[in-house]
């Protein structure tokens, strides 16, 4: 049997994301909010209201995925649609009163853990990691044949 190939950086990234998901699940253990929905709550709550297109761009997700997930949040009563005053063909997503309550409960819990992780790394390493992750995203997008986004 031949020697296995060394792990790729993408496998390292996958493993890191798995651990990040465990950290998020631990933070939200007593909150009625699905960990995979947390980024939606944060972005809509902190930067919203947002159009689905703007949310998709901010999350680097396909619009179809954002629409599907936003629909689930809307059915749960956590997100609601509002008319878009800038474009009558579009709408804005905003947190409902229940969504605001859930975010107010969840955000300090996760934020405390995220800040503790960042404190372990220090400002210089955080800055280096952000730069490296941006370069990694650009390399992946280039490989996909997509023009790299400017962050």
Whether residue 126 is predicted with pLDDT greater than 90 in this model: the reply is yes
Instruction: Work out the percent of the chain whose per-residue pLDDT is above 90.
Output: 84
Rg value, the chain, Cα? 18
What integer pLDDT is reported at residue 88 of this predicted model? 84
- What is the 3-state composition of the chain as percent helix, strand, coil, each rounded to the nearest 5? 65, 5, 25
Whether residue 1 is predicted with pLDDT greater than 60 in this model: the reply is no
Whether residue 19 is predicted with pLDDT greater than 70 in this model: the reply is yes
pLDDT 10s digits, 48-103? 899 999 999 999 999 999 999 999 999 999 999 999 998 888 999 999 999 999 99
Whether residue 124 is predicted with pLDDT greater than 90 in this model: the reply is yes
Task: Enter the pTM of the model.
Answer: 0.83
Selecting from 1.10.287.610, 3.40.50.300, 1.10.10.10, 3.90.550.10, what CATH number does the domain 9-144 have?
1.10.10.10
Strand pairing of 91-95 and 79-83?
Answer: antiparallel
């Amino acid at each position: 049997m031949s020697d296995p190939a060394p792990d790729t950086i993408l496998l390292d990234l996958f493993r890191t994301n798995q651990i990040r998901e465990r950290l998020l699940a631990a933070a939200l253990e007593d909150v009625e909010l699905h960990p995979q929905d947390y980024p939606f709550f944060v972005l809509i709550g902190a930067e919203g209201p947002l159009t689905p297109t703007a949310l998709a761009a901010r999350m680097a997700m396909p619009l179809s995925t954002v629409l599907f997930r936003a629909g689930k949040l809307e059915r749960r009563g956590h997100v609601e649609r509002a008319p878009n005053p800038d474009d009558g063909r579009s709408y804005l997503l905003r947190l409902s009163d229940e969504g605001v309550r859930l975010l107010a409960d969840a955000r300090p819990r996760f934020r405390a853990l995220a800040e503790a992780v960042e404190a372990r790394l220090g400002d210089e390493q955080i800055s280096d990691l952000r730069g490296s992750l941006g370069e990694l995203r650009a390399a992946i997008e280039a490989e996909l044949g997509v023009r790299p986004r400017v962050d």
